[in-house]
Amino acid sequence: MQMNSLKTALLATMMAGALACSASTHAAQSTGTFPTKPVRLIVPYPPGGGNDTIARIIGAQLSEIWSQQMIIDNRPGANGIVACQITAAAAPDGYTLLVANVATNAINAALYKKLPYEPIKSYAPISLLGSTANFLVVPAASSAANLNDLVALAKKQPGKLTYGSNGIGSSQHLAGVMFNSAFGTDMIHVPYKGTGPAMVALISNQITMSFANSLAAVPHIKANRLKALGVTSLKRSSALPDVPAIAETSPGFSATSWWGIVAPAGTPKVITESISKAIRQGLEVASVNEQLHRQGVDPRPMTPGEFHAFMQEELVKWSKVVKASGATAD
């Protein structure tokens, strides 16, 4: 009897301990003490492009805010599909995040007949990071001094000039499709596995031009490795105000990029809201805000609900653009 009583007491103590531990974990999450271990941030493209750059900028801030390491995990392939699959299949605990972008979470759905993930349903939205225009850039030694020069050059050599992008169906690719349509040119698209490799190819004169996002292009422009002939926003960029908007020559021309953070679907709301608040805090740091603006990026932190609505709008918008362009990846 005494042995049974002892076993019962021990069992009760263990159960009480387990309940206390569970309550402590829940309380920790509720009070915003997430995370308690390193967090992995998956980037859908190689190092050197806009996705990688903004991931490292916000990753450094989150590491400082949380006192936990942010592991930047570059997983390029299939126009971002590889990274999207990995994230969608990860445990929904907040420790695996994805740099969502205009290609992976808006354009791909219209570009591919079938995707192994749902651009919105497969994820728990956390926050938008920022948005930017793409710059039309050519090698520094290019004979084209302005937009009109480039158009004239392209028309003299139909099917000869090339433009690189960070993948089929990206905003950079579609900007080229729109450019051909707007100016009656016939330039050939050359897709790369990311903006970084496309910039290397452009600087080494392997391709004629590119519509690169500002994070990747502006440093090369300021270093005189590339020459900017136009920007794809409706108005000029504050990062390079002397560069004309393509819309000044072709009214309505617009192709912009954006980046955000999402987690696997099913991630608890208390965690997504906690991460969203930390991102806002990081983007509001004066040095970070200034750095992004200097490179042509408009920091735009959002709540999970706001980012969800934003992605839905982008999905509808780019579906129309892709359909009108006739672009397809299948």
Mean pLDDT by 10 residues, the chain (330 residues): 46 44 40 85 92 96 97 94 97 98 93 93 98 95 96 96 90 91 95 92 97 92 97 92 96 91 98 98 95 91 98 91 78
Compute the C-alpha angle 55/61/63, nearest 5°: 95
Q: What pLDDT does 287 receive?
A: 94
> CATH says 39-129+257-325 is which class?
alpha beta
Residues forming CATH 3.40.190.10 domain(s) in the chain? 133-248
Compute the C-alpha angle 113/265/19, nearest 5°: 160
Q: What pLDDT does 92 receive?
A: 98
Q: What pLDDT does 23 receive?
A: 39
DSSP 64-112: HHHTS-EEEEE---GGGHHHHHHHHTS-SSSSEEEEEETIIIIIHHHH-
CATH number corresponding to 133-248: 3.40.190.10
Residues forming CATH 3.40.190.150 domain(s) in the chain? 39-129+257-325
Q: What pLDDT does 250 receive?
A: 95
- Whole-model pTM? 0.78
